[in-house]
Structure 1
Amino acid sequence: FLDRIAAFSDDLRDGLKGHVFTDTDRGFVNGGLGLEETVKFGIVGNIMHSGVRYSEGKYSTTPWAKEPYHSISYVEAHDNLTLWDKLMATHPEAEESELITMHRMANAIVLTSQGIPFIHAGSEFLRTKDGDHNSYRSPDSVNQLVWQRKADYVDNVEYFKGLIELRKAHPAFRMDTADKIRTHLSFMEMPESNMIGYVLSEYANGDDWKNIVVLANANEEAIEVNLEERGWVVVVNGEKAGVRSLDKISGSTIMVPAQTVMVLVDAKSMGGSKWMWYLAGLLILAAAGYIVYSKKEQLFTKKN
């Protein structure tokens, strides 16, 4: 390994959307089967992790990154089809809303994965090159950013902004060592295939949130998932993303919609950060000390 030199994770890229050189090949988010371990490998930043079955990987059968900063997480770049064009190639009969759901799912996985996230310019407004998979030799009419699409797909732009806000605000999604990932990230047993779930636990990487659950359901129907603890707050679903509450789950059961990534936070953490509780404790101690000091002052004054 060359320290501070990273490589693009083709495992995650093709695990999510299908082989880049076969237009109709499908990945985890668009109907491919048996790709859970490949995507999990990308989620941990391509490091060694006991929760990944490497023998089931699409490409790599052993870890190739020593630390998460050796891996760049992505699902599309300037080469090959854009993600939007790839989804259209694999699902030519699908409604636009269905393709948007798959597109959001892929990028939600990228932006909640460990490693260095990479977003192709214009992906936030569903960039298309009209099916051109080798556009280095194509004119501006193909390669240009069509800014009207930003207005046309403003909800998708806001979704990307919310995912970026979440990642920037919470260091649990960007742990800087493999040891931290192995300590704080644990995969869950899922009730069905084509699903991935994991927990970022115990204030991972100094996060304010104690426990964070990420659930990805690539099936075409909603699936119920049981969590070990009760009381959760949803901050990412298929419609919106960010750091604010979108829904509250009082119990331990969550219904994950089809082709959706959900991020949940334990309700106690959302009630205030650990630092706020520490500060509250210090204030209580300070107040108690002041009361004791005042009483001693009063007794001293009376004696004199």
Structure 2
Amino acid sequence: MKLKSIVLMGLAIFAMSCTPEKRAYKSFDEYPVPSAPINEMVYTPSQTTFTLWSPTAEQVELMLFDSGDEGSAYQSVTLEPKEDGLWSASVNQNLKGKFYAFNVKIKEKWLGETPGIMAKAVGLNGKRAAVIDLADTNPQGWSSDQRPPLKSDADIILYEMHHRDFSVDTTSGIKNRGKFLALTEKGTKNTAGDATGIDHLKELGVTHVHLMPSFDFASIDESNLKANKYNWGYDPLNYNVPEGSYSTNPKEPAVRIVEFKKMVQSLHKAGIRVVMDVVYNHTSSIQGSNFELTAPGYFYRMKKNGKWANGSGCGNETASERGMMRKFMIESVVYWATEYHVDGFRFDLMGIHDIETMNQIRAALDKVDPSIYIYGEGWAAEQPQLPKEKLAMKENITKMPRIAAFSDELRDGLRGPFNDDKKGGFMTGISRKEMSVKFGLVGAIKHPQILNDSVNYSKAPWALQPTQMISYVSCHDDMCLVDRIKSSMPDASPAVIAAIDKLAVTAVFTSQGVPFIYAGEEIMRDKKMVHNSFESPDAVNAINWNNKTLYKDVFDYYKGLIAMRKAHPAFHMGNADLVRKNMEFLPVAGSNLIVFRLKGYSNGDSWDDIYVALNGDRAPRKFAVDPGKYTVVCKNGIINQYGLGTMYGGEVYVPGLSALIFHK
């Protein structure tokens, strides 16, 4: 008995030493990271279990509410400390339809209500989480929903859109304007009867729709949608819940979930995959964020002077290298890929994240489906608080196989520098931009004809494979393509602007990288010359769908380029060795002219040698090709892959500000 008493006393002393108020960590690296998935709310009709990770908490309270945004808690439950920094409690009631929030006490101070870091359903404006059964949110036929076939990343064609921009204008003919459901409506037309919405996307031929932030963000008041306040959504609030303002009823937690799934299902039936724009690099703020209300300081980096780091340019940068932040990011993308059937992820300011986290995300998504595509911005707004060699920057893409980055070399080579809207590039007749464009045309890989010393930003190739480079000339950031042309060529007529638009996009779609266009580019969208329209009104951002009729030739050109790229494997070889072997640049006299030949790579195609000439000069230019009979498929801003006529080799002329494509 005496021995037993001694053992029991020892165990009691050990238990006291492990109580939460006695836990002391010398650094964030010592914070425990649970091995099990983060499930903060597990519902059954008879019991709901709540769990929160807060390793330095002294006490954690759970509050239950009848409303998602009003009233006081009707019940409070004290969570018990568990292993690995977890706190948990079960409520033996059917809580479906109720709402909840956690409150953490640290250093004798209650931090304030939070829905948790992994909330999967929330009430109005996302301040309280909701108790729901996710099985109830699956639309009819959801279990049989499938990702559209994708043989290779080289087959991808990306289309970036903002939900509101795409459908909010009355010219869209869409009923659920600015909502997730806009992408479920078939048969919508503009005032002239041309297809809009999802039918437009099918007609255009894109393979992936890149949705700008669709998670729950902070800047829109969901209780007052009539105010029409606008924002892109790069101010995360709840990462794992769809944004309420894009639903038809943000007060009901299940509605936004059901409608997001219906949107994905509709796009999949149309043969289009879905990419989510994810913003794990920063939150809308630090104070009051769900991260800070759970584990203060842990989820964010600080500078040596004790101030918050700001690699995002938005007031903070998250610490992806820390165990729980890494785990959170991995489980978040896997959740979107499995629960919502999302097919790809675009990482905002990916250069803030560490390489190891990005590679673990790639590995985790491979277990779900290896065809899920990952790409991001390979830079940061300011230098993050990690050594460059550890960051997921563009120059480190070789360390991240099957993760892609945007090519600002091609973008700015074509249109001009990011930091000066008035300066032009190759497409507006500025000389000495050819090598930067060629760098993008080969897909940022090592190529014997690329002189990297003459490339604008990168003095070395950074992609292992061409599918690791996103080829683009404009996106939501900075001026859209039409506005940039107007800014750098203020004297340009509408006809000249359309011609330059076509020339630029020809470079994008004949690049061996993965092509990317910004919604509305294909119908000459403008944004009233606004450089950064993140909170501009609909009058600036909304797409005028009557442009599709007005600029039918431009739309047909984009459509024709996409069809040509899809039909002929030489335009998307998808392998660096094949590109080096089969893509060569022809010698030309002078500047502002690029000519390349795709030779010997038919892969069963009837086209033999393919020639692409890009003329950024206003005057016609000439070059020489081998004698022979050729079929012209693109000339003077018109494209038809079945042929526009024939020509013979020798001296060939390409009209000013245009592309010429022909083949044997």
> When the two structures are superposed, what TM-score results if normalisation uses the length of structure 1?
0.85
2:428 is equivalent to residue 30 of structure 1 = yes
**What does 1:170-249 correspond to in 2, within 5 Å?**
170-249=568-647
Give the letter for the 1:128 counterpart.
D
2:402 is equivalent to residue 4 of structure 1 = yes
Of 259, 269, 277, the residue aligned with 2:657 is 259
Q: CA distance change for structure 1 residues 183 and 251 in 2, over 3 Å: closer, same or farther?
A: closer
2:645 is equivalent to residue 250 of structure 1 = no
Q: CA distance change for structure 1 residues 192 and 263 in 2, over 3 Å: closer, same or farther?
A: same
Please report how far the alpha carbon of residue 219 of structure 1 lies from its aligned counterpart in structure 2 after TM superposition: 1.2
Aligned twin of 1:129: 527
Please report how far the alpha carbon of residue 176 of structure 1 lies from its aligned counterpart in structure 2 after TM superposition: 1.0
Of 480, 483, 507, the residue aligned with 1:109 is 507
Aligned twin of 1:293: none
- Mapped contact 2:425–2:433 kept (Cα < 8 A): yes
**What does 1:42-81 correspond to in 2, within 5 Å?**
42-81=440-479
Aligned twin of 2:559: 161
Give the Cα–Cα distance (whole angstroms) in 2 for the partners of residues 177 and 250 of structure 1: 31
Deviations 1:94-117 (A, max 9, x none): 211111111110001101110100
Aligned twin of 1:281: none
Give the Cα–Cα distance (whole angstroms) in 1 for the partners of residues 488 and 634 of structure 2: 26
**What does 1:11-26 correspond to in 2, within 5 Å?**
11-26=409-424
Please report how far the alpha carbon of residue 253 of structure 1 lies from its aligned counterpart in structure 2 after TM superposition: 2.2
Structure 1: gaps of 5 or more residues: 267-304
Q: Secondary structure at the match of 2:595?
A: strand
Aligned twin of 2:550: 152
Please report how far the alpha carbon of residue 188 of structure 1 lies from its aligned counterpart in structure 2 after TM superposition: 0.4
Please report how far the alpha carbon of residue 31 of structure 1 lies from its aligned counterpart in structure 2 after TM superposition: 2.2
- Mapped contact 1:125–1:150 kept (Cα < 8 A): yes
- Mapped contact 1:225–1:254 kept (Cα < 8 A): yes
2:491 is equivalent to residue 99 of structure 1 = no
Give the Cα–Cα distance (whole angstroms) in 2 for the partners of residues 178 and 140 of structure 1: 43
Please report how far the alpha carbon of residue 207 of structure 1 lies from its aligned counterpart in structure 2 after TM superposition: 3.4
Give the letter for the 1:211 counterpart.
D
Number of residue equivalences: 266
Deviations 1:240-294 (A, max 9, x none): 113111121134221110111111101xxxxxxxxxxxxxxxxxxxxxxxxxxxx
- Mapped contact 2:424–2:489 kept (Cα < 8 A): no
Give the Cα–Cα distance (whole angstroms) in 2 for the partners of residues 25 and 251 of structure 1: 36
Please report how far the alpha carbon of residue 191 of structure 1 lies from its aligned counterpart in structure 2 after TM superposition: 2.3
Please report how far the alpha carbon of residue 204 of structure 1 lies from its aligned counterpart in structure 2 after TM superposition: 4.3
Give the letter for the 1:79 counterpart.
D
Aligned twin of 2:207: none
Q: Secondary structure at the match of 2:463?
A: coil
> When the two structures are superposed, what TM-score results if normalisation uses the length of structure 2?
0.39
Give the letter for the 1:179 counterpart.
D
Give the letter for the 2:463 counterpart.
A
- Mapped contact 1:67–1:178 kept (Cα < 8 A): yes
**What does 1:287-302 correspond to in 2, within 5 Å?**
none
Give the letter for the 1:235 counterpart.
V
- Mapped contact 2:474–2:517 kept (Cα < 8 A): yes
Give the Cα–Cα distance (whole angstroms) in 2 for the partners of residues 96 and 56 of structure 1: 32
- Mapped contact 2:471–2:516 kept (Cα < 8 A): yes
Give the letter for the 2:403 counterpart.
I
Higher strand share: 2
Please report how far the alpha carbon of residue 136 of structure 1 lies from its aligned counterpart in structure 2 after TM superposition: 1.1
Q: Secondary structure at the match of 1:79?
A: coil
Aligned twin of 1:90: 488
Give the Cα–Cα distance (whole angstroms) in 1 for the partners of residues 531 and 439 of structure 2: 26
Give the Cα–Cα distance (whole angstroms) in 1 for the partners of residues 542 and 585 of structure 2: 40
Give the letter for the 1:46 counterpart.
A
Give the letter for the 2:618 counterpart.
E
Please report how far the alpha carbon of residue 202 of structure 1 lies from its aligned counterpart in structure 2 after TM superposition: 0.9
Aligned twin of 1:298: none
Identity of aligned residues (%): 39
Runs of 4+ in 1 over 3 A off after TM superposition: 204-207
Deviations 1:91-145 (A, max 9, x none): 1112111111111100011011101000110001111000111111112221111
Deviations 1:186-219 (A, max 9, x none): 1100122111111100134553311101111111
- Mapped contact 1:105–1:238 kept (Cα < 8 A): no
Give the Cα–Cα distance (whole angstroms) in 2 for the partners of residues 32 and 223 of structure 1: 15
Deviations 1:15-43 (A, max 9, x none): 00001221111110012110110000000
Give the Cα–Cα distance (whole angstroms) in 2 for the partners of residues 206 and 141 of structure 1: 48
- Mapped contact 2:570–2:598 kept (Cα < 8 A): yes
- Mapped contact 2:637–2:659 kept (Cα < 8 A): no
Q: CA distance change for structure 1 residues 42 and 71 in 2, over 3 Å: closer, same or farther?
A: same
Deviations 1:130-176 (A, max 9, x none): 01111111122211111011111011100111100100100100011
Deviations 1:45-103 (A, max 9, x none): 00000011111111111101110111000000011000100000011112111111111
